[in-house]
Amino acid sequence: MLMAVAVAMTVTAMVSLTAQSPQGVTAALYPIVPGLDLLAIMACMYRATLRRRVLHAVIVGAVAVPGLAWFLHPGSRPVLNLGQLLVWPICSLICAWRYRRELDTAVKRHAEDVAVDDEAARAQAFLDGRFEVLTLAGRAVEDAHSRLDELESLLGPNMREHVQRALQEVDRRLHALLHNGDESPSSTTTPSLATATPPP
């Protein structure tokens, strides 16, 4: 912002001193529009973050630009013509001020939309991960059933019955979780299922 002030004042001074045609058809030509447009647009775009000292420097620069153009003008210096040229920077100031407001509104709305999309994506990712974990747990239970049948001759009746009840409980809980049921934990539930199942 301070560099913009320096550029605006430098350009105004250089053009005023080196202009080949400082006089127009009806009045003096003051090179103030480019520098003031630059200050107006940048000050409006960054007004929310400007420190007080920088803002004061911008105001001083905005006053110094037409002052330099009038003081350094090599020909006649009608003040009325200088005032007429100020209309264009004022228009730039109004447009840039409005544009900044619209830009802030658009950024806010975009942030709200992104937040909604992020929340939906997180919810979907949780559901996908939950389903994947439950699917893996279901495959492990199927494998356990197969192993139980293979080891039936090595297990005693009591042990086989105990394992059978545990697997049935796991089956019941998996079925409830896959259907979003609210099942309370059972004393026969295996620890691996408790750690593998995501929280509801």
Q: Do 72 and 131 fall within a single domain?
A: no
Distance CA 74, CA 152 (A): 111
Q: Do 80 and 30 fall within a single domain?
A: yes
Helices (runs of H) and strands (runs of E) counted in the chain: 7, 0
160 vs 121: which has the higher pLDDT: 121
**Domain limits for position 188:** 121-196
Q: Do 79 and 144 fall within a single domain?
A: no
6-26 exposure pattern, b = at least 16 Cβ within 10 A, e = fewer: eebbebbbebbeebeebeeee
What digits encode the pLDDT tens for the residues 41-66?
999 989 888 899 999 999 999 999 99
The number of folded domains in the chain is 2
Confidence of residue 166 (pLDDT cuts 50, 70, 90): confident
148 vs 199: which has the higher pLDDT: 148
Alpha helices in 73-179 (DSSP H): 79-85, 87-150, 157-178
Distance CA 156, CA 147 (A): 15
Question: Is residue 104 included in any domain, yes or no?
Answer: no
Question: Is residue 36 included in any domain, yes or no?
Answer: yes
Question: Is residue 106 included in any domain, yes or no?
Answer: no
The angle that helices 52-72 and 2-18 make with each other, rounded to 10 degrees, is 0
Q: Do 77 and 9 fall within a single domain?
A: yes
Q: Do 29 and 74 fall within a single domain?
A: yes
Question: Is residue 92 included in any domain, yes or no?
Answer: no
Paired residues of 23 in beta bridges? 28
What digits encode the pLDDT tens for the residues 112-149?
888 888 888 888 888 888 888 888 888 888 888 788 77
Q: What Cα–Cα distance (Å) separates residue 20 from each residue in 7, 71, 124, 166?
A: 21, 17, 69, 99
Tell me what pLDDT residue 74 has.
Answer: 82
Question: Is residue 171 included in any domain, yes or no?
Answer: yes
